[in-house]
Amino acid sequence: MLLQHASKAQQHGLTKLWETDTVFRTPESVLFDGKGKRLFVSNIDGAPAEKDGKGFISIVGLDGKPISIAWIKGLNAPKGMGIYKNKLYVADLTELVVIDIKQGTIIEKIPVEGAVFLNDIVIDNKGIVFVSDTRSFNIYQYDQERVSVTMRNLKRPNGLLMNEKDLLILDNGSLLALNLNGQLLQLMEGMDPSTDGIERVKADEYLVSAWEGVIYYVVANKTKEILLDTRKEKKNTADIGYDAKNRVLYVPTFFGNKLVAYKLD
């Protein structure tokens, strides 16, 4: 049975490790790169839905120190990112931007027909790129040849994650799972409707951010705990990144223009 309330006994917590200066420009998403021991940060630097060419990608060390603030420039409103075979895929409003990580250059920009506000990305082990569109209410996929629609008519799809068998989707305060049979199952509900990023801690346990300023610890079909709540202070918690080995959570603060790292206790 799905429990809709938070766990009464707090099981987990967050301890702040560091916080950067305001060196970013509307940082929306952070991606932990374990292989390269670094973080990629997408910066909108303008309106979240405008094609203004101001967007860029930063590279930051795991200690929060900038390596290259404007590593890739000329994007519009870049948001979610994913890595596959030394390429960085970026959701950029109506395009999927592919970047050669080693060369630091844009390889191609793939138009997504019907897209309005591409938001998060996850890539499976076959290289299929899934990307959510919060304003067309669809999930698209790119199979390295063409773009197609995976799921239509969601409410407010954003954060995406793959587990062993399902595509997990954050949708307007709910955590959903799209299984191999095309069934859409609900794993949790009742979170802040601005649900944004999702990272796996271990089997069936996840960290979930809500853009308005909440971090949850979610156990699928069981409980949710609030680990951080900065809504009253109007401090955003956008699309998170997570180092599972060292249990470090990375949080972009959007309008706060900072990146904050926390240890998961």
pLDDT at 10: 80
pLDDT at 8: 52
241: burial class by Cβ within 10 Å (0-12, 13-18, 19+)? buried
pLDDT at 9: 63
For domain 14-264, is the CATH number 2.120.10.30?
Answer: yes
Rounded to an integer, the average pLDDT of 235-255 is 98
Beta-ladder partners of 123? 129
Q: Domain map of the chain by residue range?
A: 14-264
Least confident residue range of 70-74, 164-168, 228-232, 236-240: 164-168
Q: Token match 């560091």: residue?
A: 18
pLDDT at 181: 87
Closest CA to 29 of 9, 43, 15: 43
